[in-house]
């Protein structure tokens, strides 16, 4: 129970990596506020509770700044503190610079980086009071080795890495650590591209598995990201801050 007594907020908790993170934190003893705009977050919380975790759903859009503020205030009031924030929620779309729209760009930045700024600002104010905290943001290998048709997503994920470094410097005097995680190909709903699960295609199996473009020869699972979050959120992580941990089965070292 590495997180016994800790209070955590996890965004994008209704599915994929966020759901796995909420579950792992709760089963390690944390009380988790599971945030998502999709109603299934309530069902996710029920499943986690049945497994023995303490979790409460918060249903709202993280780009709604006042709703986000109300959530953070409620979590702090009910629990007396906030120890951990996991910025996980993200969206993406597929279009190149010629066909994408400014509206698509702005929506992506609003969810993928602006909401991270806002959530971190709100949570940090509480962490500063107790001189302890962990802010963990999910970026992507797209920030390091981007592909076509994902310019807005890659830009936002790259911004997360830089913002995490700034947070680490600014918040270090208060005992708050800020780190990021860059997942590679993880088997989640976001791996479904234009209706096709990219991790199941013949191309993926040939290039990334058979030819070991991913040295571990498989896509990752959400739980494998969640366990890294547990480390960064715990006392085991005491001298790591401002870093981006790449969790990609070795993918980026083969480029």
Catalytic residue among 68, 153, 174, 239: 153
Q: Are residues 195 and 174 in the same domain?
A: no
Give the range of the structural domain holding residue 176, as residue numbers without chain letter: 7-184+221-248
Which H helix or E strand runs over 32? strand 31-36
Q: Where do runs of H (alpha helix) occur along 83-195?
A: 102-109, 115-130, 151-171
Separation CA 246–CA 144 (nearest Å): 10
Q: Taking all residues of the chain, what is their mean pLDDT, rounded to a whole number?
A: 97
Of 87, 235, 237, 84, the C-alpha closest to 159 is: 87
- Would residue 153 show up in a list of annotated catalytic residues for this protein? yes
User: pTM above the 0.85 mark?
Assistant: yes
Whether residue 207 is contained in a domain is answered as: yes
Query: pLDDT at position 191, please?
Result: 81
How many residues appear in the chain? Answer: 255
Q: Are residues 115 and 240 in the same domain?
A: yes
Q: What is the DSSP letter of 174?
A: G
Query: pLDDT at position 144, please?
Result: 97
Q: Are residues 45 and 131 in the same domain?
A: yes
Whether residue 162 is contained in a domain is answered as: yes
What does the pLDDT look like over 112-157, one tens digit per residue? 999 999 999 999 999 999 999 999 999 999 999 999 999 999 999 9
Whether residue 1 is contained in a domain is answered as: no
The count of structural domains within the chain is 2
Check which CATH number belongs to the domain holding 56 and give it.
Answer: 3.40.50.720
Q: Are residues 14 and 134 in the same domain?
A: yes
Q: Are residues 65 and 113 in the same domain?
A: yes
Query: pLDDT at position 8, please?
Result: 98
What does the pLDDT look like over 45-92, one tens digit per residue? 999 999 999 999 999 999 999 999 999 999 999 999 999 999 999 999
Q: What is the 3-state secondary structure (H, E, C) of 197-208?
A: EHHHCHHHHHHH
Q: Are residues 143 and 237 in the same domain?
A: yes
């Amino acid at each position: 129970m590495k997180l016994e007594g800790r209070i955590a907020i996890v965004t994008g908790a209704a599915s994929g990596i966020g759901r796995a993170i909420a579950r792992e934190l709760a089963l390690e003893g944390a009380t988790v506020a599971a945030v998502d705009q999709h109603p299934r977050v309530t069902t996710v919380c029920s499943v986690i509770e049945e497994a023995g975790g303490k979790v409460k759903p918060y249903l709202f859009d993280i780009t709604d700044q006042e709703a986000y503020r109300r959530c953070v205030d409620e979590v702090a009031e009910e629990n007396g503190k906030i120890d951990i924030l996991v910025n996980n929620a993200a969206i993406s779309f597929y279009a190149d610079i010629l066909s994408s729209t400014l509206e698509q760009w702005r929506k992506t930045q609003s969810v993928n980086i602006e909401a991270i700024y806002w959530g971190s600002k709100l949570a940090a104010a509480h962490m500063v009071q107790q001189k302890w905290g962990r802010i963990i943001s999910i970026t992507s290998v797209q920030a390091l080795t981007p592909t076509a048709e994902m310019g807005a997503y890659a830009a936002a994920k790259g911004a997360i890495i830089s913002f995490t470094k700034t947070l680490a410097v600014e918040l270090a005097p208060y005992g708050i650590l800020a780190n990021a995680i860059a997942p590679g190909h993880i088997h989640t709903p976001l791996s479904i591209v234009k209706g096709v699960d990219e991790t199941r295609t013949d191309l993926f199996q040939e290039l990334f598995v058979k030819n070991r473009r991913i040295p571990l020869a498989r896509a990752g699972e959400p739980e494998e990201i969640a366990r890294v979050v547990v480390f960064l959120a715990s006392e085991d992580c005491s001298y790591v801050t401002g870093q981006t941990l790449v969790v990609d089965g070795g993918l980026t070292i083969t480029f």
